Chains A and B, each alone.
Chain A
Amino acid sequence: MASTVMASSSSSATSQFLSNGRRTCPPSPLPLIPKVVVAAAKSDFRRTATTTKTSLPRRLLDSLPQKAAAIAAVAAAVSPLPALAEQMEKAALFDFNLTLPAIAVEFLLLMVALDKLYFTPLGKFMDGRDSAIRAKLGDVKDTSEEVKQLEEQAAAVMRAARAEISAALNEMKKETSAELEQKLAEGRKRVEAELAEALQNLEKQKEDTIKALDSQIAALGDEIVKKVLPIA
Protein backbone atom coordinates (compact mmCIF):
# COMPACT_ATOMS: atom_id res chain seq x y z
CA MET A 1 0.00 0.00 0.00
CA ALA A 2 2.60 2.47 1.12
CA SER A 3 4.91 1.65 -1.72
CA THR A 4 2.29 2.31 -4.42
CA VAL A 5 1.35 5.76 -3.16
CA MET A 6 4.92 6.72 -2.58
CA ALA A 7 5.82 5.59 -6.06
CA SER A 8 3.12 7.75 -7.54
CA SER A 9 4.78 10.85 -6.19
CA SER A 10 7.81 10.03 -8.30
CA SER A 11 10.72 11.94 -6.82
CA SER A 12 14.19 10.78 -5.99
CA ALA A 13 13.70 11.53 -2.35
CA THR A 14 10.59 9.40 -2.10
CA SER A 15 12.18 6.51 -3.93
CA GLN A 16 14.91 6.57 -1.37
CA PHE A 17 12.33 6.45 1.42
CA LEU A 18 10.56 3.74 -0.45
CA SER A 19 13.56 1.49 -0.39
CA ASN A 20 14.18 2.48 3.18
CA GLY A 21 10.63 1.66 4.05
CA ARG A 22 10.92 -1.69 2.38
CA ARG A 23 13.94 -2.48 4.41
CA THR A 24 12.57 -1.33 7.75
CA CYS A 25 9.07 -2.71 7.47
CA PRO A 26 9.35 -6.39 6.60
CA PRO A 27 6.35 -8.04 4.80
CA SER A 28 4.14 -5.94 6.94
CA PRO A 29 2.71 -7.89 9.86
CA LEU A 30 1.70 -4.38 10.96
CA PRO A 31 -0.29 -3.02 8.04
CA LEU A 32 -2.13 -0.55 10.24
CA ILE A 33 0.44 2.20 10.49
CA PRO A 34 1.39 2.36 6.80
CA LYS A 35 -2.33 2.43 6.00
CA VAL A 36 -2.90 5.46 8.20
CA VAL A 37 0.04 7.25 6.61
CA VAL A 38 -1.31 6.46 3.19
CA ALA A 39 -4.78 7.64 4.09
CA ALA A 40 -3.43 10.92 5.43
CA ALA A 41 -1.28 11.49 2.37
CA LYS A 42 -4.12 10.58 0.02
CA SER A 43 -6.64 12.91 1.67
CA ASP A 44 -4.17 15.76 1.48
CA PHE A 45 -3.53 14.99 -2.16
CA ARG A 46 -7.24 15.00 -2.99
CA ARG A 47 -7.90 18.27 -1.19
CA THR A 48 -5.21 20.10 -3.09
CA ALA A 49 -6.53 18.56 -6.27
CA THR A 50 -10.15 19.64 -5.79
CA THR A 51 -9.44 23.17 -4.59
CA THR A 52 -7.25 23.95 -7.58
CA LYS A 53 -9.17 22.93 -10.64
CA THR A 54 -7.72 25.62 -12.92
CA SER A 55 -4.04 24.83 -12.93
CA LEU A 56 -3.97 21.33 -11.49
CA PRO A 57 -0.71 20.04 -13.01
CA ARG A 58 1.11 23.21 -12.05
CA ARG A 59 -0.10 23.09 -8.46
CA LEU A 60 0.75 19.43 -8.24
CA LEU A 61 4.24 20.13 -9.35
CA ASP A 62 4.52 22.90 -6.78
CA SER A 63 3.28 20.71 -3.98
CA LEU A 64 5.61 17.85 -4.78
CA PRO A 65 8.52 19.02 -2.65
CA GLN A 66 6.08 19.59 0.19
CA LYS A 67 4.81 16.07 -0.24
CA ALA A 68 8.29 14.77 -0.13
CA ALA A 69 8.94 16.63 3.09
CA ALA A 70 5.75 15.29 4.59
CA ILE A 71 6.61 11.75 3.69
CA ALA A 72 10.07 12.25 5.09
CA ALA A 73 8.51 13.35 8.36
CA VAL A 74 6.29 10.31 8.36
CA ALA A 75 9.21 8.07 7.68
CA ALA A 76 11.06 9.70 10.56
CA ALA A 77 8.10 9.04 12.81
CA VAL A 78 7.91 5.48 11.65
CA SER A 79 11.63 4.90 11.98
CA PRO A 80 11.42 3.39 15.54
CA LEU A 81 9.18 0.79 13.96
CA PRO A 82 11.74 -1.87 13.00
CA ALA A 83 12.19 -3.07 16.55
CA LEU A 84 8.43 -3.09 17.05
CA ALA A 85 7.92 -4.82 13.75
CA GLU A 86 10.31 -7.55 14.78
CA GLN A 87 8.33 -8.03 17.93
CA MET A 88 5.01 -7.95 16.19
CA GLU A 89 6.24 -10.41 13.61
CA LYS A 90 5.79 -13.16 16.15
CA ALA A 91 2.42 -11.83 17.28
CA ALA A 92 0.38 -14.98 17.46
CA LEU A 93 -3.14 -14.81 18.79
CA PHE A 94 -4.15 -18.19 17.47
CA ASP A 95 -1.17 -20.43 17.87
CA PHE A 96 -2.24 -23.67 19.41
CA ASN A 97 0.44 -25.64 21.15
CA LEU A 98 1.14 -27.68 24.25
CA THR A 99 -0.62 -25.01 26.35
CA LEU A 100 -4.00 -26.42 25.33
CA PRO A 101 -3.58 -29.96 26.67
CA ALA A 102 -1.68 -28.60 29.66
CA ILE A 103 -4.56 -26.34 30.66
CA ALA A 104 -7.07 -29.11 29.96
CA VAL A 105 -5.18 -31.47 32.27
CA GLU A 106 -4.89 -28.73 34.87
CA PHE A 107 -8.62 -28.14 34.63
CA LEU A 108 -9.43 -31.81 35.10
CA LEU A 109 -7.06 -32.08 38.06
CA LEU A 110 -8.59 -28.94 39.56
CA MET A 111 -12.02 -30.48 39.08
CA VAL A 112 -11.01 -33.62 40.95
CA ALA A 113 -9.32 -31.59 43.71
CA LEU A 114 -12.26 -29.22 44.16
CA ASP A 115 -14.64 -32.18 44.16
CA LYS A 116 -12.64 -33.86 46.92
CA LEU A 117 -12.08 -30.69 48.93
CA TYR A 118 -15.17 -28.63 48.32
CA PHE A 119 -18.15 -29.91 46.37
CA THR A 120 -18.56 -33.36 47.89
CA PRO A 121 -17.68 -32.68 51.56
CA LEU A 122 -19.45 -29.36 51.86
CA GLY A 123 -22.41 -30.64 49.85
CA LYS A 124 -22.69 -33.68 52.12
CA PHE A 125 -22.36 -31.47 55.17
CA MET A 126 -25.09 -29.13 53.96
CA ASP A 127 -27.40 -32.02 53.09
CA GLY A 128 -26.76 -33.55 56.51
CA ARG A 129 -27.59 -30.29 58.22
CA ASP A 130 -30.73 -29.95 56.13
CA SER A 131 -31.95 -33.41 57.09
CA ALA A 132 -31.03 -32.79 60.75
CA ILE A 133 -33.05 -29.59 60.79
CA ARG A 134 -35.94 -31.36 59.10
CA ALA A 135 -35.79 -34.17 61.68
CA LYS A 136 -35.77 -31.65 64.53
CA LEU A 137 -38.76 -29.92 63.04
CA GLY A 138 -40.51 -33.30 62.87
CA ASP A 139 -39.66 -33.89 66.52
CA VAL A 140 -41.19 -30.58 67.42
CA LYS A 141 -44.38 -31.58 65.66
CA ASP A 142 -44.44 -34.89 67.63
CA THR A 143 -44.04 -33.13 70.99
CA SER A 144 -46.91 -30.88 70.16
CA GLU A 145 -49.03 -33.99 69.71
CA GLU A 146 -47.81 -35.25 73.05
CA VAL A 147 -48.75 -31.98 74.64
CA LYS A 148 -52.22 -32.30 73.19
CA GLN A 149 -52.51 -35.81 74.62
CA LEU A 150 -51.38 -34.60 78.03
CA GLU A 151 -53.87 -31.80 77.91
CA GLU A 152 -56.63 -34.27 77.13
CA GLN A 153 -55.49 -36.43 80.01
CA ALA A 154 -55.55 -33.47 82.32
CA ALA A 155 -59.04 -32.56 81.18
CA ALA A 156 -60.18 -36.16 81.83
CA VAL A 157 -58.71 -36.08 85.33
CA MET A 158 -60.44 -32.82 86.01
CA ARG A 159 -63.72 -34.19 84.79
CA ALA A 160 -63.36 -37.29 86.95
CA ALA A 161 -62.50 -35.19 89.99
CA ARG A 162 -65.44 -32.93 89.41
CA ALA A 163 -67.79 -35.92 89.08
CA GLU A 164 -66.39 -37.43 92.25
CA ILE A 165 -66.84 -34.22 94.15
CA SER A 166 -70.41 -33.74 93.01
CA ALA A 167 -71.20 -37.37 93.91
CA ALA A 168 -69.73 -36.90 97.39
CA LEU A 169 -71.64 -33.69 97.77
CA ASN A 170 -74.89 -35.37 96.81
CA GLU A 171 -74.29 -38.22 99.21
CA MET A 172 -73.48 -35.84 102.01
CA LYS A 173 -76.60 -33.86 101.27
CA LYS A 174 -78.67 -37.03 101.34
CA GLU A 175 -77.13 -38.17 104.60
CA THR A 176 -77.64 -34.89 106.32
CA SER A 177 -81.21 -34.63 105.17
CA ALA A 178 -81.92 -38.20 106.38
CA GLU A 179 -80.41 -37.45 109.76
CA LEU A 180 -82.38 -34.29 109.95
CA GLU A 181 -85.61 -36.08 109.14
CA GLN A 182 -84.89 -38.72 111.70
CA LYS A 183 -84.23 -36.13 114.37
CA LEU A 184 -87.36 -34.29 113.35
CA ALA A 185 -89.41 -37.43 113.55
CA GLU A 186 -87.99 -38.25 116.97
CA GLY A 187 -88.80 -34.78 118.19
CA ARG A 188 -92.27 -34.96 116.82
CA LYS A 189 -92.84 -38.33 118.45
CA ARG A 190 -91.63 -37.05 121.78
CA VAL A 191 -93.79 -33.98 121.53
CA GLU A 192 -96.78 -36.09 120.61
CA ALA A 193 -96.12 -38.41 123.51
CA GLU A 194 -95.79 -35.52 125.90
CA LEU A 195 -98.93 -34.00 124.46
CA ALA A 196 -100.84 -37.22 124.88
CA GLU A 197 -99.59 -37.54 128.46
CA ALA A 198 -100.59 -33.99 129.21
CA LEU A 199 -104.02 -34.55 127.72
CA GLN A 200 -104.42 -37.71 129.74
CA ASN A 201 -103.45 -35.85 132.90
CA LEU A 202 -105.87 -33.12 132.01
CA GLU A 203 -108.66 -35.63 131.45
CA LYS A 204 -107.87 -37.31 134.72
CA GLN A 205 -107.88 -34.02 136.56
CA LYS A 206 -111.14 -33.13 134.84
CA GLU A 207 -112.68 -36.41 135.92
CA ASP A 208 -111.35 -35.98 139.45
CA THR A 209 -112.66 -32.45 139.53
CA ILE A 210 -115.99 -33.56 138.19
CA LYS A 211 -116.11 -36.43 140.75
CA ALA A 212 -115.29 -34.02 143.53
CA LEU A 213 -117.81 -31.60 142.18
CA ASP A 214 -120.42 -34.39 142.10
CA SER A 215 -119.96 -35.17 145.79
CA GLN A 216 -119.91 -31.55 146.63
CA ILE A 217 -122.98 -31.02 144.48
CA ALA A 218 -124.86 -33.53 146.62
CA ALA A 219 -123.79 -31.86 149.88
CA LEU A 220 -124.50 -28.45 148.47
CA GLY A 221 -127.92 -29.59 147.26
CA ASP A 222 -128.72 -30.87 150.74
CA GLU A 223 -127.60 -27.61 152.27
CA ILE A 224 -129.62 -25.60 149.73
CA VAL A 225 -132.59 -27.76 150.45
CA LYS A 226 -132.17 -27.36 154.24
CA LYS A 227 -131.88 -23.60 153.84
CA VAL A 228 -134.82 -23.26 151.46
CA LEU A 229 -137.03 -25.75 153.30
CA PRO A 230 -136.54 -25.05 157.08
CA ILE A 231 -139.67 -26.94 158.19
CA ALA A 232 -138.60 -30.20 156.76
Chain B
Amino acid sequence: MNVIPCSIKTLKGLYDISGVEVGQHFYWQIGGLQIHAQVLITSWVVIAILLGSVIIAVRNPQTIPTDGQNFFEYVLEFIRDLSKTQIGEEYGPWVPFIGTMFLFIFVSNWSGALLPWKIIQLPHGELAAPTNDINTTVALALPTSAAYFYAGLTKKGLGYFGKYIQPTPILLPINILEDFTKPLSLSFRLFGNILADELVVVVLVSLVPSVVPIPVMLLGLFTSGIQALIFATLAAAYIGESMEGHH
Protein backbone atom coordinates (compact mmCIF):
# COMPACT_ATOMS: atom_id res chain seq x y z
CA MET B 1 0.00 0.00 0.00
CA ASN B 2 2.97 2.31 -0.04
CA VAL B 3 2.27 3.11 -3.66
CA ILE B 4 -0.65 5.35 -2.87
CA PRO B 5 1.14 7.84 -0.59
CA CYS B 6 3.84 8.05 -3.17
CA SER B 7 1.38 8.79 -5.90
CA ILE B 8 -0.28 11.38 -3.73
CA LYS B 9 3.05 13.02 -3.25
CA THR B 10 3.50 12.96 -7.01
CA LEU B 11 0.12 14.54 -7.37
CA LYS B 12 0.98 17.23 -4.90
CA GLY B 13 4.17 17.87 -6.82
CA LEU B 14 2.29 18.02 -10.08
CA TYR B 15 -0.16 20.45 -8.57
CA ASP B 16 2.66 22.64 -7.33
CA ILE B 17 4.36 22.52 -10.68
CA SER B 18 1.16 23.34 -12.44
CA GLY B 19 1.61 26.75 -10.85
CA VAL B 20 3.67 27.16 -13.98
CA GLU B 21 1.13 28.86 -16.12
CA VAL B 22 1.53 27.21 -19.47
CA GLY B 23 -0.50 28.76 -22.20
CA GLN B 24 -2.06 31.29 -19.86
CA HIS B 25 -2.55 34.68 -21.37
CA PHE B 26 -3.47 38.11 -20.20
CA TYR B 27 -5.93 39.21 -22.83
CA TRP B 28 -6.67 42.65 -24.09
CA GLN B 29 -9.55 43.31 -26.40
CA ILE B 30 -8.84 45.58 -29.33
CA GLY B 31 -11.72 46.14 -31.70
CA GLY B 32 -13.25 42.77 -30.94
CA LEU B 33 -9.94 40.99 -31.44
CA GLN B 34 -7.97 39.44 -28.64
CA ILE B 35 -4.35 40.17 -28.05
CA HIS B 36 -1.81 38.65 -25.65
CA ALA B 37 -0.95 41.65 -23.52
CA GLN B 38 1.96 40.03 -21.70
CA VAL B 39 3.76 39.40 -25.02
CA LEU B 40 3.12 42.95 -26.14
CA ILE B 41 4.38 44.44 -22.87
CA THR B 42 7.57 42.40 -22.79
CA SER B 43 8.22 43.09 -26.45
CA TRP B 44 7.93 46.82 -25.74
CA VAL B 45 10.48 46.43 -22.96
CA VAL B 46 12.80 44.53 -25.30
CA ILE B 47 12.43 47.18 -28.01
CA ALA B 48 13.02 49.91 -25.43
CA ILE B 49 16.19 48.18 -24.23
CA LEU B 50 17.46 47.82 -27.80
CA LEU B 51 16.68 51.34 -28.94
CA GLY B 52 17.84 52.91 -25.67
CA SER B 53 21.21 51.18 -25.60
CA VAL B 54 21.75 51.87 -29.29
CA ILE B 55 20.93 55.55 -28.91
CA ILE B 56 23.19 55.92 -25.86
CA ALA B 57 26.11 54.04 -27.39
CA VAL B 58 26.02 55.25 -30.98
CA ARG B 59 24.65 58.81 -30.85
CA ASN B 60 28.11 60.36 -31.11
CA PRO B 61 30.56 57.93 -32.69
CA GLN B 62 34.24 58.47 -31.91
CA THR B 63 37.13 57.55 -34.16
CA ILE B 64 38.67 55.69 -31.25
CA PRO B 65 35.58 53.87 -29.97
CA THR B 66 34.54 54.02 -26.32
CA ASP B 67 33.20 50.96 -24.48
CA GLY B 68 29.57 51.01 -25.60
CA GLN B 69 30.39 52.02 -29.14
CA ASN B 70 33.06 49.35 -29.28
CA PHE B 71 30.50 46.73 -28.27
CA PHE B 72 27.98 47.84 -30.86
CA GLU B 73 30.67 47.99 -33.53
CA TYR B 74 31.57 44.43 -32.64
CA VAL B 75 27.92 43.40 -32.90
CA LEU B 76 27.58 45.13 -36.27
CA GLU B 77 30.72 43.46 -37.56
CA PHE B 78 29.37 40.12 -36.34
CA ILE B 79 26.05 40.65 -38.13
CA ARG B 80 27.77 41.84 -41.30
CA ASP B 81 30.03 38.81 -41.20
CA LEU B 82 27.08 36.48 -40.71
CA SER B 83 25.13 38.07 -43.57
CA LYS B 84 28.17 38.03 -45.82
CA THR B 85 28.88 34.34 -45.29
CA GLN B 86 25.25 33.36 -45.88
CA ILE B 87 24.15 35.80 -48.60
CA GLY B 88 27.39 36.61 -50.41
CA GLU B 89 28.69 39.87 -51.77
CA GLU B 90 25.26 41.53 -52.11
CA TYR B 91 24.60 41.28 -48.38
CA GLY B 92 24.50 45.03 -47.76
CA PRO B 93 20.74 45.72 -47.99
CA TRP B 94 19.92 42.69 -45.83
CA VAL B 95 22.03 43.68 -42.83
CA PRO B 96 19.20 45.60 -41.08
CA PHE B 97 16.79 42.68 -41.50
CA ILE B 98 19.18 39.98 -40.32
CA GLY B 99 20.57 42.22 -37.59
CA THR B 100 17.19 43.23 -36.21
CA MET B 101 16.10 39.60 -36.32
CA PHE B 102 19.15 38.51 -34.36
CA LEU B 103 19.08 41.34 -31.83
CA PHE B 104 15.35 41.16 -31.19
CA ILE B 105 15.34 37.39 -30.66
CA PHE B 106 18.53 37.47 -28.62
CA VAL B 107 17.38 40.23 -26.28
CA SER B 108 13.92 38.65 -26.03
CA ASN B 109 15.34 35.27 -25.07
CA TRP B 110 17.77 36.67 -22.56
CA SER B 111 15.15 38.98 -21.09
CA GLY B 112 13.11 35.88 -20.28
CA ALA B 113 16.04 34.41 -18.41
CA LEU B 114 17.58 37.50 -16.84
CA LEU B 115 14.86 40.08 -16.20
CA PRO B 116 12.81 39.49 -13.04
CA TRP B 117 9.46 39.58 -14.83
CA LYS B 118 7.78 37.67 -12.02
CA ILE B 119 7.95 40.72 -9.77
CA ILE B 120 5.19 42.29 -11.85
CA GLN B 121 1.94 40.46 -11.19
CA LEU B 122 -0.59 40.32 -13.97
CA PRO B 123 -4.28 39.64 -13.35
CA HIS B 124 -3.92 36.51 -15.45
CA GLY B 125 -0.96 34.75 -17.03
CA GLU B 126 2.56 35.97 -16.44
CA LEU B 127 5.28 37.99 -18.08
CA ALA B 128 7.95 35.98 -19.88
CA ALA B 129 10.16 36.20 -22.94
CA PRO B 130 8.16 37.42 -25.96
CA THR B 131 9.56 34.49 -27.93
CA ASN B 132 7.75 32.25 -25.45
CA ASP B 133 4.60 32.84 -27.50
CA ILE B 134 3.92 31.13 -30.83
CA ASN B 135 2.48 34.39 -32.19
CA THR B 136 5.84 36.11 -31.83
CA THR B 137 7.84 33.37 -33.47
CA VAL B 138 5.41 33.11 -36.38
CA ALA B 139 5.44 36.89 -36.64
CA LEU B 140 9.19 36.64 -37.10
CA ALA B 141 9.11 33.62 -39.42
CA LEU B 142 6.55 34.99 -41.90
CA PRO B 143 8.54 38.17 -42.71
CA THR B 144 11.51 35.87 -43.30
CA SER B 145 9.50 33.98 -45.91
CA ALA B 146 8.39 37.25 -47.45
CA ALA B 147 11.99 38.44 -47.40
CA TYR B 148 13.41 35.52 -49.31
CA PHE B 149 10.62 35.63 -51.87
CA TYR B 150 11.28 39.35 -52.30
CA ALA B 151 15.02 38.74 -52.59
CA GLY B 152 14.57 36.03 -55.22
CA LEU B 153 11.99 37.95 -57.24
CA THR B 154 13.96 41.20 -57.31
CA LYS B 155 17.16 39.39 -58.23
CA LYS B 156 15.85 37.04 -60.90
CA GLY B 157 12.34 38.24 -61.75
CA LEU B 158 9.82 35.54 -62.56
CA GLY B 159 12.71 33.22 -63.38
CA TYR B 160 12.90 32.76 -59.64
CA PHE B 161 10.05 30.26 -59.85
CA GLY B 162 12.20 28.14 -62.11
CA LYS B 163 13.88 26.81 -59.00
CA TYR B 164 10.71 24.85 -58.21
CA ILE B 165 11.40 22.47 -61.07
CA GLN B 166 15.09 22.17 -60.31
CA PRO B 167 16.76 19.74 -60.62
CA THR B 168 13.73 17.82 -61.98
CA PRO B 169 10.00 18.64 -62.22
CA ILE B 170 9.29 15.54 -60.11
CA LEU B 171 10.49 17.49 -57.08
CA LEU B 172 7.90 20.25 -57.66
CA PRO B 173 5.63 19.21 -54.76
CA ILE B 174 8.57 18.91 -52.38
CA ASN B 175 9.93 22.27 -53.44
CA ILE B 176 6.54 23.87 -52.86
CA LEU B 177 6.25 22.10 -49.53
CA GLU B 178 9.59 23.58 -48.54
CA ASP B 179 8.13 27.08 -48.63
CA PHE B 180 5.70 25.99 -45.93
CA THR B 181 8.11 23.96 -43.84
CA LYS B 182 10.68 26.75 -43.69
CA PRO B 183 8.61 29.25 -41.65
CA LEU B 184 7.01 26.38 -39.75
CA SER B 185 10.32 24.93 -38.62
CA LEU B 186 11.77 28.38 -37.91
CA SER B 187 8.89 29.42 -35.68
CA PHE B 188 8.40 26.09 -33.91
CA ARG B 189 12.09 25.63 -33.24
CA LEU B 190 12.37 28.98 -31.52
CA PHE B 191 9.04 28.67 -29.69
CA GLY B 192 9.73 25.13 -28.48
CA ASN B 193 13.24 25.86 -27.32
CA ILE B 194 12.38 28.96 -25.36
CA LEU B 195 9.20 27.54 -23.84
CA ALA B 196 10.95 24.31 -22.88
CA ASP B 197 13.88 26.19 -21.46
CA GLU B 198 11.70 28.38 -19.25
CA LEU B 199 9.58 25.41 -18.17
CA VAL B 200 12.62 23.35 -17.21
CA VAL B 201 13.98 26.21 -15.15
CA VAL B 202 10.66 26.85 -13.42
CA VAL B 203 10.08 23.17 -12.68
CA LEU B 204 13.59 22.75 -11.30
CA VAL B 205 13.25 25.86 -9.19
CA SER B 206 9.97 24.55 -7.76
CA LEU B 207 11.59 21.21 -6.93
CA VAL B 208 14.98 22.42 -5.65
CA PRO B 209 14.88 26.11 -4.92
CA SER B 210 18.61 26.80 -4.77
CA VAL B 211 21.92 26.04 -6.51
CA VAL B 212 20.70 23.08 -8.58
CA PRO B 213 18.81 25.13 -11.21
CA ILE B 214 21.81 27.39 -11.83
CA PRO B 215 23.56 25.11 -14.38
CA VAL B 216 20.25 24.68 -16.18
CA MET B 217 19.78 28.45 -16.17
CA LEU B 218 23.23 28.89 -17.67
CA LEU B 219 22.43 26.24 -20.25
CA GLY B 220 19.22 28.16 -20.91
CA LEU B 221 21.19 31.35 -21.55
CA PHE B 222 23.43 29.42 -23.92
CA THR B 223 20.55 27.85 -25.86
CA SER B 224 18.79 31.21 -26.01
CA GLY B 225 21.80 32.77 -27.67
CA ILE B 226 22.22 29.82 -29.99
CA GLN B 227 18.54 29.96 -31.00
CA ALA B 228 18.85 33.64 -31.88
CA LEU B 229 21.94 32.86 -33.94
CA ILE B 230 20.23 29.91 -35.64
CA PHE B 231 17.17 31.95 -36.54
CA ALA B 232 19.24 34.79 -37.99
CA THR B 233 21.61 32.43 -39.80
CA LEU B 234 18.78 30.41 -41.34
CA ALA B 235 16.93 33.56 -42.40
CA ALA B 236 20.12 34.78 -44.08
CA ALA B 237 20.71 31.35 -45.61
CA TYR B 238 17.19 31.27 -47.10
CA ILE B 239 17.67 34.74 -48.54
CA GLY B 240 21.07 33.79 -49.93
CA GLU B 241 19.69 30.57 -51.35
CA SER B 242 16.91 32.34 -53.25
CA MET B 243 19.36 34.92 -54.59
CA GLU B 244 22.03 32.56 -55.83
CA GLY B 245 21.77 31.03 -59.28
CA HIS B 246 20.40 27.52 -59.64
CA HIS B 247 22.12 25.54 -62.32
State the A residues within 8 Å of B (CB).
Answer: 30, 32-33, 36-37, 39-40, 43-44, 66, 70, 73-74, 77-78, 80-81, 84, 87-88, 90-104, 106-108, 110-115, 117-123, 125-126, 129
Contact = CB atoms under 8 A, between A and B. Distances in A.
Contacts of A44: 1, 3-4
B29 to A, nearest CB: 9
A110 B58 contact: no
Contacts of A43: 3
Given A99-B36, A99-B40, A122-B69, 4 more contacts: A32-B14, A96-B135, A98-B35, A126-B77
Interface in B111-140: 130, 133-136, 138-140
Nearest to B36: A99
Contact of B34 (A33, A97, A107): A97
B24 interface: yes
Contact of A100 (B1, B24, B138): B138
Interface string B180-223: 00000000000000010000000000000000000000000000
A121 B61 CA distance: 9
A74 B135 contact: no
Given A90-B24, A107-B100, A119-B99, A113 B51 contact: yes
Contact of B143 (A37, A87, A104): A104
B143 A98 contact: no
Interface of B: 1, 3-4, 6-8, 10-12, 14-15, 18, 21-25, 30, 33-36, 39-40, 43-44, 47, 50-51, 54-55, 58, 61, 63, 69, 72-73, 76-77, 80, 95-97, 99-101, 103-104, 130, 133-136, 138-140, 142-143, 195
A126 B80 CA distance: 12
Given A111-B96, A122-B76, A36 B136 contact: no
B76 A118 contact: yes
Contacts of B12: 77
Given A32-B14, A97-B33, A122-B72, A103 B130 contact: yes
A37 B135 contact: no
Q: B-side binding surface: helix, strand, loop or mixed?
A: helix
Contact of A92 (B3, B25, B40, B143): B25
A162 B77 CA distance: 59
A80 B15 contact: yes
Contacts of A106: 43-44, 47
15 contacts: A37-B7, A80-B15, A81-B15, A84-B18, A99-B135, A100-B139, A102-B139, A103-B40, A103-B135, A104-B140, A114-B50, A117-B54, A119-B76, A119-B96, A126-B76
Nearest to B25: A92
Contacts of A90: 23-25
B18 A118 contact: no
A104 B133 CA distance: 13
Contacts of B143: 104, 107-108
A107 to B, nearest CB: 6
A139 to B, nearest CB: 16
Nearest to A78: B11
A73 B3 CA distance: 12
A97 B28 CA distance: 11
A24 B96 CA distance: 53
A81 B15 CA distance: 8
A214 to B, nearest CB: 125
Contacts of B23: 90-93
A119 B58 CA distance: 10
Contacts of B80: 123
Contact of B4 (A70, A93, A97): A70
A125 B63 CA distance: 9
B35 A102 contact: yes
The residue in A39, A40, A87, A103 that gathers the most chain B C-beta atoms within 10 A of its C-beta is A103
Contacts of B101: 107
Contacts of A80: 15
B132 to A, nearest CB: 10
Contacts of A121: 58, 61
